[in-house]
Homo-oligomer: A and B are copies of this chain.
């Protein structure tokens, strides 16, 4: 449990740097991320490298005992480079070039730009790879931010044709895989294939899905190029990238395979305000503290992408600038968010940014310091956390590293699959039914039941889990099927699971395709509903409403929930269950409580807005609600806070 901060020495006079470093130390900060937007300062003219400022900055930070996460500056190529390689720029779906003037102005598929990245990363790695202050490298910054994964430029088309040739070998294989005969869409060679934008109507969904996969693979390759250089010149350093909230356009599990730690950038208020997943009521209730599951969901998701290792690279420290509205967090929220992250296994929580910039795009984005260099409100909460970590160490006898190493509970898992996400969203049938939203609402229901959850990739070992949810695992690989068949715990398979082959065909035996052995049923047709029609549902497991999606299934399995005409909604027996619809929040919760019970897990309904999280013997309690709430665990000793928590309150208990 360590604190960090994002710092831009190039924005401030050198004379201030020592003071900054000292104040960081005094505040309890151990890690400093620098460098990730500094290319034009490092190389103001092509080939003319200005290292001195960075040498000095590293030296000062090092002298103050601060550990440095050094960013490669490839998210912000300088103007001269863009002018030299105009083909490196991305094009949006409308075919418009996305110009220089902000950041992320490149296509991942541009080979010219990759060569420039190779050059600058090599130069940096050679110079600083063995620097004693440098303990970690961050590749680039927020892959995909500003909708930059899908690009429709010439470089992307070339990459796509190569990718397809590699995947399919022959163009007739591709034609068959895509079902191109459907509308005379057959190609005679890979050179005839175009990108799936600006078509007269919807392009072939197999075409779209393969393009998404290809673009995701470009990100993997782009990242790997940097990883290989950094591994070579800077051994024994952690490699990390900083992911974002509610972002699924590339396969984070694949990128994560090449890195040591997953980190993400968490802005609870900005996302609450801007995301359509949240209802108007949620936006109002949680205005100043964020939705109770926003942080937790992503912590658990990205820990799964990081092979168990998680950092917060950017933690919101006050009001931000980029959402439609940017309110001030309630007092204590920054501390709450920090402890929530630690409770989910974060080794490091790093605030963005040290000092609010008085110029350029983010000048209304708070830092730990104000633009005038004085402490902002977030600083005192960060300092408080630093002290509380020490307190917790004392109380537990564990140092910060040992606290980080506390085991996850590992009993409940929710499977998250980027490929399934793309597959579902390409043809949602009912427009409000989105993969990510559905996963989030399942996670929320589990968490409102007091359960600690792992969010795992399809490739993860299932051995330790008592309860496993597959929200909508569209394509079931043979390998996954094998493991599901071997799984010993309680299994809930959600709607659309097994509904497509790898090539986005309906399976020959109809959905759930390969799952039919595990769950003897057939999805005969689908009722894809608008918001205004939510049929009543009831049965042995409760009553409520279904929404968006209802599969009409033929099965002999017992029905636990049915609709008013008796059509099954939730079926299963023993340890294996199939949910043929999306459910409203309350019914989802009671259904999951039933499953938890079957799995031998004790679910507890928590007070509104309160959440708990178990790690090893420690139990963390958080209050996101507008009202004061109380949570008193059995057989537990209070280490921090109290049983009664006001808004943004935090308590830590040790269970016996």
- In this assembly, does A494 line the interface, its C-beta being within 8 Å of a C-beta of chain B? no
Q: Which residues of B contact A148 (CB under 8 A)?
A: 200
Check A203 against B101 for contact (C-beta < 8 Å). Answer: yes
Q: Are A99 and B364 in contact (CB under 8 A)?
A: no
| Interface flag for A118 (CB, 8 Å) | no
Q: Which residues of B contact A585 (CB under 8 A)?
A: none
Instruction: Identify the closest chain B residue to A550 (Cβ).
Output: B328
Most buried by B among A38, A99, A324, A359: A359
> In chain A between 312 and 342, which residues have their CB closer than 8 angstroms to a CB of chain B?
318-319, 321-322, 324-328
Give A38 to B629 CA distance when docked, in angstroms.
66
Judge if A542 is at the interface, Cβ distance under 8 Å.
Answer: no
Please tell me which one of the listed residues B38, B194, B431 contacts residue A184 in the complex, with CB atoms under 8 A apart. Answer: B38
* Number of identical monomers bound together in the oligomeric complex: 3
| The residue from B99, B196, B359, B529 contacting A199, defined by CB atoms under 8 A apart | B99
Give the complex CA separation of A405 and B66 in angstroms: 73
B360 touches A103 (CB 8 A): no
Alpha-carbon distance between A362 and B508 when the two chains are bound, in angstroms: 16
A45: chain B residues at CB < 8 Å are 188
Q: Is A80 an interface position by the 8 A CB rule?
A: yes
A371 interfacial contact with B, CB 8 Å: yes
Please report whether the interface of chain A is mostly helix, strand, loop or mixed according to DSSP: loop
Q: Which of A148, A183, A205 has the most CB of B within 10 A?
A: A183
Q: Which A residues from 381 to 396 make CB contacts under 8 A with B?
A: none
The answer to whether A431 and B194 have CB atoms under 8 Å apart is no
Cβ contact of A192, chosen from B79, B359, B532, cutoff 8 A: B79
Q: Which A residues between 266 and 286 are near B, CB-CB below 8 angstroms?
A: 273, 280, 283-284
Would you call A228 an interface residue if the criterion is a C-beta within 8 Å of the partner chain's C-beta atoms?
no
Report chain B residues within 8 Å CB of A459.
none
Stretch from A291-299, A414-422, A520-528, A644-652 forming part of the interface with B: A520-528
Q: Is A184 touching B98 in the complex (CB atoms < 8 A)?
A: no
- How close is A93's CB to chain B, nearest CB, in angstroms? 10
Decide if A104 is an interface residue (CB 8 Å cutoff): yes
A59 on interface, CB distance cutoff 8 Å = no
Per the bound structure, the CA–CA distance linking A39 and B96 in Å amounts to 32
Q: Which of A41, A77, A103 has the most CB of B within 10 A?
A: A103
A80-B188, A188-B44, A532-B284 known; A201 and B104 CB under 8 Å?
Answer: yes
Binds B, one of A128-136, A173-181, A238-246: A173-181
B78 contacts A204, C-beta separation under 8 Å: no
Closest to A524 in B: B370
Q: Is the Cβ of B364 less than 8 Å from the Cβ of A427?
A: yes
Q: A92's closest neighbor in chain B, by CB?
A: B198
CB distance from A492 to the nearest CB of B (A): 24
A525 touches B321 (CB 8 A): no
Whether A11 and B510, one on each chain, are in contact in the complex, defined by CB atoms closer than 8 angstroms, is no
| A205-B360 contact in complex given A101-B199, A185-B79, C-beta closer than 8 Å | yes
Instruction: Tell me the complex Cα distance, A7–B77, Å.
Output: 54
Which chain B positions have C-beta within 8 A of A90? Answer: 200
A321 to B427 Cα, complex, angstroms? 8
Closest CB of chain B to A43's CB: distance in Å? 9
- A54 CB → nearest B CB, Å: 13
By the criterion CB–CB under 8 Å, are A40 and B181 in contact? yes
CA distance A529 to B196 in the complex (A): 39
Which of B200, B366, B504 makes the CB contact (< 8 A) with A99? B200
Q: Which residues from 486 to 522 on chain A have a C-beta closer than 8 Å to any C-beta of chain B?
A: 503-510
Asked if B39 and A102 sit within 8 Å, CB to CB, the answer is: no
Q: Complex Cα distance A510/B530, Å? A: 47
Q: Give the docked Cα–Cα distance between A194 and B101 (Å).
A: 8
Of residues 158 through 217 on chain A, the ones whose CB sits less than 8 Å from some CB of chain B are: 178-188, 192, 194, 196-207
Cα–Cα distance between A319 and B371 once the two chains are bound (Å) = 53
Query: A255 near B: Cβ within 8 Å?
Result: no
Given A41-B184, A103-B183, A525-B328, do A358 and B505 touch, yes or no (CB 8 Å)?
yes
* A15 in contact (CB, < 8 A): no
A sample of 10 cross-chain residue pairs with beta-carbon separation below 8 angstroms, ordered by A number, consists of: A37-B183, A102-B183, A102-B185, A102-B201, A204-B361, A319-B528, A325-B530, A327-B530, A328-B526, A363-B504
Shortest 8 CB-CB contacts between residues of A and residues of B: A179-B359, A182-B360, A40-B184, A101-B199, A76-B184, A358-B506, A179-B360, A325-B530
Write the residues of chain A forming the contact surface with B, with a CB cutoff of 8 angstroms: 10-11, 37-41, 44-45, 73, 76-80, 83, 90, 94-105, 145-146, 148, 178-188, 192, 194, 196-207, 273, 280, 283-284, 287, 318-319, 321-322, 324-328, 356-364, 366, 370-372, 376-377, 427, 429-431, 503-510, 524-530, 532-533, 552
